[in-house]
Chain A
């Protein structure tokens, strides 16, 4: 704390001064008018200058973010009104104005009022980005609020005739300048609302002196734009002019003609898109038909595979292959066939019943009928049999027939039950 008759470090005094200045409501929000001198644009983008009056001067700092927002930057010798807060810059021991808005002098009071109105409306949410509405892609009806005289209305018609003649324009004529302009503009918006056909509204005015645009900073007009039921595009003045209706509008165009352009697609673009759609249509249909054709082809192939057609084709191929082989190949094949034949003969020989007799078996033949395979059922005592053995045949007679005792069907069933 700083007390009387006590030596304090300069840093402490500096921070005391800063607190004093920061705590002052008047100094926190003030407009100062004077001539710009010692202008120094720093490489950082900040702008430093001194405001000089008849009896004093004040250092000013316009920091980069604020500098970027100014409609025009001050130059040495300019009479300006600067808005900001007064603070103490301890490092240089200087009181200075931290500027956020700088306007040509004379506009000072109007600028102050405008800034206050802007802040009030902003606080109310009129300028919120979140309430900006998208424009219709291709509006059928466009409302135009502007003066029926002069080039603006003519230019807008020209642009739309060239760019998108499919639309309908409804002019809501009004005065755009002078004391009666705000009320006229509000009535024009009311007429648009009453008519109810417009899908988007262009609010336009040609370029002029800053004071000529006053109606577009009028609170009534700003509110009329805000409450318009359809999106509003502004094209007011020149590119460098910026009014409150530009802030409240759904979209701000730099000029009236640009506003008209922004409202509609161009027929050239549309024609191009139609051609593109035609192409896609044709390509798609062509592909579709080709797909079907391919499918039919595949079906046909599968059909051929399932039928004898395929067998014939395969056989034919085999035949061709065989025919194509040379005589050596054919001979080799013949040799293989012969070896195979020998193997088959050996196999047949092994199966010869006579070879079984060599292993001690005998073959019975009914001498009466000559049939092999004598059975009990056919055998009768006294019948002659011929017994073939390995080294000849023995003639014999049946002494007795003994049937093998087979279990009867009923007995088997009985056992299982």
Chain B
């Protein structure tokens, strides 16, 4: 927080999840934020910060769900390599 106090919530960590997290991380962070709010005893200003962050996390989750496209790949080359180069001791 800007006033330099030690925050009762890991805002930096949550912010990082929002910006760079996978869906699971963003979702888990959203759950954590809600749980922390429900636990209570946060100063009002921090409650409001958490709320704003929570809303952004929820929106991010929804965007990720909307935009998700199944990625598919194959391991054929790996298998071929494995067949070509048997593990040491087996050759």
Contact = CB atoms under 8 A, between A and B. Distances in A.
B73 A169 contact: yes
Identify whether the interface residues of A are mostly helix, strand, loop, or mixed. helix
A138 interface: yes
Interface string B6-42: 0000000000000000111001001101100110101
A30 interface: no
Interface residues of A, number: 38
A166 interface: yes
Nearest to A270: B65
B74 A173 contact: yes
Contacts of B48: 285
A70 interface: no
Given A169-B72, A191-B78, A194-B78, A277 B30 contact: yes
A280 B38 contact: yes
B75 A270 contact: no
B79 A271 contact: no
A280 B82 contact: no
Contact of A277 (B34, B42, B47, B50): B34
A270 B75 CA distance: 30
Contacts of A278: 54-55, 58
B70 interface: yes
Contact of A281 (B24, B37, B40): B37
Nearest to B23: A166
A161 interface: yes
Given A140-B22, A270-B65, A284 B74 contact: no
Interface of B: 22-24, 27, 30-31, 33-34, 37-38, 40, 42, 44, 47-48, 50-51, 54-55, 58, 61-62, 64-65, 68-76, 78-79, 82-83
Interface of A: 137-138, 140, 148, 157, 160-161, 165-174, 187-188, 190-192, 194-195, 267, 270-271, 274, 277-278, 280-282, 284-285, 288-289, 292
24 contacts: A140-B24, A157-B70, A165-B68, A168-B71, A169-B71, A169-B72, A170-B74, A171-B74, A173-B79, A191-B75, A270-B65, A274-B27, A274-B61, A274-B62, A278-B58, A280-B34, A281-B37, A281-B54, A281-B55, A281-B58, A284-B34, A284-B38, A285-B50, A288-B42
